[in-house]
């Protein structure tokens, strides 16, 4: 009888895109399944995923994840050609696809991947409808974050 190995990620999160909240106004959240090859699943289990430049495109009524890098393991099979930057198909309902196509074409939204995680035994990708931020918006966010941090410090010291 073998024991289960303790998981590195207790909440199931594989990778996140922390830069997305700084670069974009994130609005609606969507979740999609991911069509993967066997070597990719093994690499994902090891945590060899990078979502920092990942985004979703809609082409021919289908959604694809681009820019996500899944590095191959050193012990991968030699007969399989591993492409870490290949586009991966997202599994969405037709209704969701039609809604996303309409929003992207009419309103000029971008679809940005923000997280990859396990849901039961399936790999899911979380992505958001997003609009790009201008430089002054980013400065405002930094200023608000600094002020809230300073406010917390002041409250902490005033209680003493």
pLDDT in tens, 43-75: 888 888 888 888 899 999 899 999 888 888 777
Among 34-43, 59-68, 71-80, 142-151, the minimum mean pLDDT is found in: 71-80
Average pLDDT, the chain: 83
Longest dimension (CA), the chain: 66
pLDDT score for 39:
83
Answer yes or no: is 38 within a domain.
Answer: yes
The total domain count for the chain is 1
Answer yes or no: is 65 within a domain.
Answer: yes
pLDDT score for 31:
93
Answer yes or no: is 145 within a domain.
Answer: no
pTM: 0.72
Answer yes or no: is 3 within a domain.
Answer: no
pLDDT of residue 35 exceeding 80, the answer is yes
Neighbour-count burial for 20-53, b at 16+ CB within 10 Å, e otherwise: bbeebeeeeebebebebeebbebbbeeebbebee
Q: Which domain holds residue 57?
A: 13-133
Which CATH number covers residue 17? 2.40.280.10
């Amino acid at each position: 009888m073998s024991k289960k190995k303790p998981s590195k990620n207790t909440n199931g999160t594989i990778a996140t895109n922390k830069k997305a909240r700084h670069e974009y106004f994130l609005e609606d959240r969507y979740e999609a399944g991911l069509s993967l090859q066997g070597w990719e699943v093994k690499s994902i289990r090891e945590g060899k995923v990078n979502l920092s430049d990942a985004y979703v495109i809609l082409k021919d009524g289908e959604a694809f994840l681009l820019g996500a890098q899944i590095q191959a393991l050193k012990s991968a099979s030699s007969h399989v050609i591993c492409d870490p930057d290949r586009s991966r198909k997202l599994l969405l309902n037709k209704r969701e696809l039609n809604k996303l196509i309409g929003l992207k074409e009419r309103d000029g939204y971008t679809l940005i991947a923000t997280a990859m995680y396990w849901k039961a035994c399936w790999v899911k990708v979380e992505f958001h409808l997003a609009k790009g931020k201008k430089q002054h918006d980013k400065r405002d966010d930094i200023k608000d974050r600094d002020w809230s941090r300073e406010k917390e410090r002041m409250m902490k010291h005033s209680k003493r």
